[in-house]
Chain A
Amino acid sequence: MSALHAVWRRNISETLAGALPIVLALGIWYVISAWNFAPASLLPSPVTVFRRFLVLLGDPQFLQNAGATLYRLFVGFGIAVMLGIGIGILAAGNRTVAALMQPVIRVLAPVPKIALYPALVLMFGFDHSSKIALVVADALFPILLATYQGAVAVDPKLVWSARAAGASQTRCLFTIVLTAALPSILTGARIGLIIACIVVFLAEMILSTDGLGQLLVRAARNFQTVDMFVPIIAISMLGLLLNAAFNMLSKRLLVGFPSQN
């Protein structure tokens, strides 16, 4: 019982320790603006910013921009997941595919994909497709690599057990190997999701007619400082929410797997 108590107390103190820097940052931000250390045109008060955020959450125009961002994010991420898992599994199951893929990935993975964006705009225009293409290019590699590495690391005895039971090689690849690699795949997909979130916003900042990123650029051009903070807060919250949702989904999908931190 007392051991449990000690664990509890430690959890509480750790939670408090974790809350401290966040509270501190918000506090300093508040004090700076409330006591006029910085003019509101440079740093608006956190209260103003969050109030504006809440107001905009009911604003149809804001929601429309957020919707455009979400649409690009999810379509791009979905394509990246399908391509990444598909190519990754194929490369794990076929040496020739792997030998062809590896050097190409080695060259393309560290290339800053954002630099492709001007070209993607030339090819696909200003609308959704160019942003979706960029999201795919950026989110693809973590998913593909995690799938390949996870699939290659699957214990061959798991596959042999299935093969001996009568499953064909192809069937094993898409049932046994794919499932056994799931923890790694989900880790890659989560990284890909956050990257997708970030990159869609940046693309909208660089060249776009709508979306959350564009709202930030527009606000900056008009020196509306409060409206500059709101999109950033919105995209960060979106990232946090998606991350949490993804963790929940992972926990469901990974029933039975040894837990990993």
Chain B
Amino acid sequence: MARLNAIPGVPVLIACLAILLIWDLLSRVVMVSGLPPPWGALQEVPVILTDKESLVNILASLRRMSIGFSLAVAFAVPVGLLMGRSRLVAAFFNPLFMIIYPVPKAALMPIIMLWLGVGEMSKILVIFLGVSLPVIYHSYQGSKAVEEKMLWSAAAMGLGPMARLLRVVFPAALPEIMVGCRTGVVLALITMVTSEMIARQTGIGNIFFNALDMAQYDTVYAMIIVIGILGFLCDWGFEAVRRMLLGWAAPVHDIAVGSA
């Protein structure tokens, strides 16, 4: 078991098989109602991915997700870094973020649609809101943990405040920022899926509810598999990037969790 686990990819494959087997058992032995065996759903996955309309829908969703995520990172990292280095900035933002934290961001979808319509803007804005907080939080923690002495030596070398933030604080906080981004990318997907399930008109939500209305349960489960794989890939891809960029930092076992 231990030796098999050491080969990269093998544990994940075994885990996937185990999940499918448990699913199969639940559907056929325990006979959970409304749960078909996984094999039909699995066969439906390539059908969805080759169907032109579905594919366009999914790709459009992914595009919104990337845009919302990038904008959020561009906004959140500087804010977080500043908060970590200035007590006043931290005091300014902290209560506001504490209030925003338990607001379900995807639930703002109806209100945002009221203001901005059903277009791209609304969907990107919701993702932006969903991703920002965790990235700010982790950048904040990372920047707060930067050793004072490192900054003193940098100041002694003649670096100004901006240069110190860019060339000392940012790289030192990068491992923690990456943790935030990893959580953020998963949250971007979650927020995207949730908001589209609430709005229903387009994208993944549309596919889901069409299938539900027409009682194509295999399609429903196939969509879940597709979204699940997307989530895993987002997380795994980000961890791979992190490891490439930050081989020097201790491995982070933090697994991204969150909710829109």
A and B in direct contact, judged by CB atoms within 8 A: yes
Q: Which single residue of chain B is at the shortest CB-CB distance from A217?
A: B110
Query: Could you jot down 11 A-B contacts, CB within 8 Å?
Result: A107-B12, A108-B228, A110-B186, A110-B231, A122-B217, A149-B253, A194-B102, A198-B107, A202-B194, A205-B107, A239-B103
B99 contacts A by Cβ under 8 Å = yes
B114 touches A42 (CB 8 A): yes
- How far is A116 from B259 in the complex, measured between Cα atoms in Å? 13
- Among A22, A122, A149, A236, residue most surrounded by chain B Cβ atoms (within 10 Å): A122
The docked-state distance in angstroms from the alpha carbon of A107 to that of B16 is: 7
Is B194 in contact with A112, judged by CB distance below 8 angstroms?
yes
Contact of A201 with B104 in the complex, beta carbons under 8 Å:
yes
A-contact 0/1 string along B1-37, CB 8 Å cutoff: 1100100000110111011000000000000111100
Q: Report B180 CB to chain A, min CB distance, Å.
A: 14
B255 within 8 A of A: yes
Stretch at the interface among A60-68, A86-94, A160-168, A224-232: A224-232
Q: Mark A215-229, 1 if CB is under 8 A from B, else 0.
A: 011001000010011
Give chain B residues whose Cβ lies under 8 Å from the Cβ of A107.
12, 15-16, 19, 228, 232
A108: nearest chain-B partner, CB-CB = B19
Known pairs A118-B208, A141-B255; A18 contacts B217 (CB<8 A): no
Q: How many pairs of A and B residues are in contact by the CB < 8 Å rule?
A: 192
The answer to whether B101 touches A239, judged by C-beta atoms less than 8 angstroms apart, is: yes
Question: Which residues of chain A are within 8 angstroms of B1 by Cβ–Cβ distance?
Answer: 96, 99
Answer whether residue A177 sits at the interface, using C-beta atoms and an 8 A cutoff.
no
Query: Are B255 and A205 touching (Cβ within 8 A)?
Result: no
Q: Is the CB–CB distance between A228 and B110 below 8 Å?
A: yes
How far, in whole Å, are A217 and B107 apart by their CA atoms in the complex?
9
Q: Is the CB of A19 within 8 A of B95?
A: yes
Shortest beta-carbon distance from A152 to chain B in Å: 9
B149 proximal to A (CB < 8 A): no
List of B residues within 8 angstroms of A105 by Cβ = 255
A115 to B99, CA, bound (A): 26
Residue on B nearest A193 in the bound complex, by CB: B102
Which A residues touch B193, using CB under 8 A? 112, 114-115
CA distance A15 to B111 in the complex (A): 31
* Closest residue of B by beta carbon distance from A238: B102
- CB-based contact B96/A220 at 8 Å: no
Known: A110-B232, A225-B111. 19 other contacts (CB 8 A): A21-B93, A25-B96, A105-B255, A109-B235, A110-B231, A112-B190, A115-B197, A141-B255, A194-B101, A194-B259, A195-B257, A195-B258, A197-B102, A198-B260, A199-B104, A202-B194, A216-B110, A228-B114, A232-B103
Query: B residues within 8 A CB of A202?
Result: 104, 106-107, 194, 198, 259-260
Give the residue of A10, A17, A104, A118 whose beta carbon is less than 8 angstroms from that of B19.
Answer: A104
Neighbour of B255 across the interface among A18, A109, A206, CB < 8 A: A109
Known A-B contacts A205-B198, A229-B111; A119 and B35 likewise in contact (beta carbons under 8 Å): yes
Write the chain B residue with the least CB distance to A104: B15
Q: How far is the CB of A41 from chain B (nearest CB, A)?
A: 8
Instruction: Scan A183-219; emit 1 where CB is below 8 A from any B CB, else 0.
Output: 0000000010011011101100110000001001100
**Bitwise interface map of A from 238 to 259 toward B, beta carbon under 8 Å scored 1, else 0:** 1110110000000000000000
- Residues of B near A22 (CB, < 8 A) are 95-96, 99
What is the interface of chain A mostly: helix, strand, loop, or mixed? Answer: helix
- Give the nearest-CB partner of A240 in chain B: B102
Give the contact-size bracket for chain A: 35 or more
Distance from A24 Cβ to chain B, minimum over Cβ atoms (Å): 9
Bound Cα distance from A108 to B225, whole angstroms? 11
Q: A225 contacts which chain B residues (CB < 8 A)?
A: 111, 114
Q: Are B92 and A20 in contact (CB under 8 A)?
A: yes
A111 touches B88 (CB 8 A): no
Quote the shortest CB–CB distance from B207 to chain A (angstroms).
Answer: 10
Known contacts A22-B96, A123-B34, A235-B102; is A110 also within 8 Å of B107 by CB? no
Mark out the residues of chain B between 227 and 260 whose CB falls within 8 Å of any chain A CB in the assembled complex. Answer: 227-228, 231-232, 234-236, 253, 255-260
B103 to A, closest residue via Cβ: A236
**B55 in contact (CB, < 8 A):** no
In the complex formed, the residue of A with least CB distance to B227 is A115
- State A122–B11 Cα separation when bound (angstroms): 30
- List chain A residues, Cβ under 8 A from B110: 216-217, 220, 228
Q: Report chain B residues within 8 Å CB of A213.
A: 107
Chain A residues near B102 (CB, 8 Å)?
A: 194, 197-198, 235-236, 238-240, 242-243
Q: Is B221 positioned at the interface, with any CB of A under 8 Å from its CB?
A: yes
What CA separation (Å) do A18 and B258 show in the bound complex?
26
Query: Does the CB pair B257–A191 fall under 8 Å?
Result: yes
Q: Contact between A235 and B87 (Cβ–Cβ < 8 Å)?
A: no
Please tell me if the beta carbons of B194 and A114 are within 8 angstroms of each other in the complex. yes
B94 at the interface (CB under 8 A from A): yes
